[in-house]
């Protein structure tokens, strides 16, 4: 069995005026779709890594989220 090709995007990231990153995530298989929203504040330990993963993100900007490596 060949593994499925990962999607080009797993959702959308945006940044609020207060610097909070909002990740709207979606995962799909043939039979199931899952959605989640994660909010990461500037004080969150994941903040810097998330910004780096996104290739940067500015207040008011929205962009696709590339898959994280497994």
Query: What string of pLDDT tens digits covers the 70 residues of the chain?
Result: 445 666 689 999 999 999 999 999 998 888 889 999 999 999 999 999 999 999 999 999 999 999 988 7
Position 52 scores a pLDDT of: 96
| 22: nearest Cα among 45, 1, 42 | 42
Q: Give yes or no for a contact between 64 and 12, defined as CB atoms under 8 angstroms apart.
A: yes
| CA-based nearest residue to 19, from 37, 53, 48, 66 | 48
| Domain coordinates in residue numbering, the chain | 11-60
Contacts (Cβ under 8 Å, ≥6 apart) of 37: 22, 23, 24, 25
């Amino acid at each position: 069995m060949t593994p499925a090709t990962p999607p080009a995007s797993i959702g959308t990231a945006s940044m609020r005026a207060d610097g909070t990153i909002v990740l709207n995530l979606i995962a799909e298989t043939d039979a199931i779709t899952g959605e989640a929203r994660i909010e990461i504040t500037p004080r969150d330990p994941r903040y810097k890594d998330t910004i780096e993963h996104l290739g940067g993100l500015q207040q008011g900007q929205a962009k696709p989220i590339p898959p994280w490596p497994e």
